Structure 1
């Protein structure tokens, strides 16, 4: 079986593609090897195992998702930026369901690899920049980040699982949720430092 050009990046991308097709939880090293046309053992030269591969997929996905969101937000502020951020999040989750789920994992791989990955750092910068537009500072900034992440992840997870069976379109509820989040962020109750 051909091994030409096999790298950690190619293995990661093949794993990410498969995760989108079959689900992150169903991904195996054997499937990735078949996708690449190599023997299973060949993969272990490039990744340490399935947990390492999933961590690498998480870093790849964090970068892709954050860049998509940043592209959608470019030149926007206030509510327009919030809507663009949220729509980028949701679009990525719909387009890449396996990769998206990887972004929710705790990445426990080579710390140097994590440190060098731009995605997680850019995600923090993008999110904090958005929320500073609402004049939020710590500890409210952290609380607001957690609220956004919980809201967006909860919505897309329920949507993906078919959890919105009501006749009202999920899109209408999404838009109302964004209106409500904007109103809340504009009127955030300031926390006194404890």
Structure 2
């Protein structure tokens, strides 16, 4: 009989919090079980193993980030939407490094799977930012990849203390947003 209070969602949330603390690569069923005060075999009543749990964490993270992006960008366009999206990604990666890392480790099972749908919501927010720049349709995918790459790179480097130079990280971030904005405006129709 499953432990009262545990279900797939609560196990996933506990594992996601733990991944943020110790890193997704350090996560194991036994570590999650210890955190929850149960034996590792009892977790298999709620999830199908570590791969399934990591996948669930990725879905949770992509959903959370998609929701935060949507909320931050509400009613914004152009540079304002870009700055809101960039800050949202940056903040999410710093606050949830483990669960964010799960999103680029996990692979969608299929085009209609929960991870695909959750990741598509995040991509839709980035696409909304780019629509405000009036890019050529043939350039949109390139701009989307560039935006994701820059925000991912900055966020993960910052979250892992990868910026060791004495220059102010806030100033660098503002410079990146301004650079992206100028480049996107210069590429518009």
Please confirm whether the aligned pair reaches a TM-score higher than 0.5, indicating the same fold: yes
Q: Residues 34 and 2 of structure 1: is their aligned pair in 2 closer, same or farther, counting only changes over 3 Å?
A: farther
Gaps of 5+ in 2: none
User: In structure 2, what is the equivalent of residue 43 of structure 1?
Assistant: 43
Equivalent residue runs for 1:113-132 within 5 Å: 114-115=113-114, 118-132=117-131
User: In structure 2, what is the equivalent of residue 77 of structure 1?
Assistant: 77
Q: CA RMSD in A?
A: 2.2
User: In structure 2, what is the equivalent of residue 64 of structure 1?
Assistant: 64
1:150 and 2:149 are equivalent in the alignment: yes
Shift of 1:5: 2.6
Q: How many residues align?
A: 189
User: In structure 2, what is the equivalent of residue 52 of structure 1?
Assistant: 52
Q: Residues 69 and 116 of structure 1: is their aligned pair in 2 closer, same or farther, counting only changes over 3 Å?
A: closer
Give the whole-Å Cα distance in 2 for the aligned partners of 1:74 and 1:108.
28
- Normalised by the length of structure 1, the TM-score is 0.89
SS at match of 1:139: helix
User: In structure 2, what is the equivalent of residue 19 of structure 1?
Assistant: 19
Query: Which runs of structure 1 show a deviation greater than 6 angstroms over 4 or more consecutive aligned residues?
Result: none
User: In structure 2, what is the equivalent of residue 30 of structure 1?
Assistant: 30
Q: Residues 137 and 29 of structure 1: is their aligned pair in 2 closer, same or farther, counting only changes over 3 Å?
A: farther
Gaps of 5+ in 1: none
Shift of 1:105: 2.1
Deviates more, 1:1-10 or 1:163-172: 1-10
User: In structure 2, what is the equivalent of residue 139 of structure 1?
Assistant: 138
- Normalised by the length of structure 2, the TM-score is 0.91
